[in-house]
Structure 1
Amino acid sequence: MEEQRTDAPWRWHGPPWWNRWDDEPRGSRLPWRSTLLLTFFVVVGTRFSAHNQQADRAHLDVFAYALLLVASGALLWRQRHPVPVVFVTVAAALVYLGAGYPYGPVFFTVAVGCFSALVAGRRGTAWTAVGMFWAGHVLVSHWLYRWLPPSGDSAASWGQELVIAAWVLAIVAMAELVRVRREQWARERAERAQAARRRADEERLRIARELHDVLAHSISVINVQAGVGLALLDSDPEQARTALTTIKAASKEALGEVRQVLDTLRTPGDAPRAPAPGLDRLPELVEQAASAGLTVTVEGDAPKLAPGTDLAAFRIVQEALTNVVRHSGSRHARVHVDSGKGVLRLRIDDDGPATGADAGGSGNGLAGMGERAAALGGTIEAGPRVDGGFRVFAVLPLKASSEEPPERKEDR
Structure 2
Amino acid sequence: MHTVGRSIWHEPRPADAPPIGRLDWLLVGVLAAAASVEGIARPDVAWRPLVTVLALALVPALLWRRSRPLVAALAGWGGAGLLSVLQLVTHAGDLGLYSMMGVLILLYSLVRWGSGREIVLGTAFVTVVVTLGMYASSGGWTDVFGGSVLLLSLVALAAVFRYRADLWHRRQHEIRNQERVALARELHDTVAHHVSAIAVQAQAGGVVAGLQPEKAAEVLAAIESEASRTLAEMRSMVRVLREEEAVAYAPQPGVADLPALARPDATPTVEVSLDGSSVRLAGPVDAALFRLAQESLTNALRHARGATRVGIDLRRDGDAVRLRVSDDGRTEKGPTPEPGFGLLGMAERVHLLGGSLSAGPAPTGGWVVEAVLPVEALP
Query: If the length of structure 1 is used for normalisation, what is the TM-score?
Result: 0.46
Task: Find the structure with the greater CA-based Rg.
Answer: 1
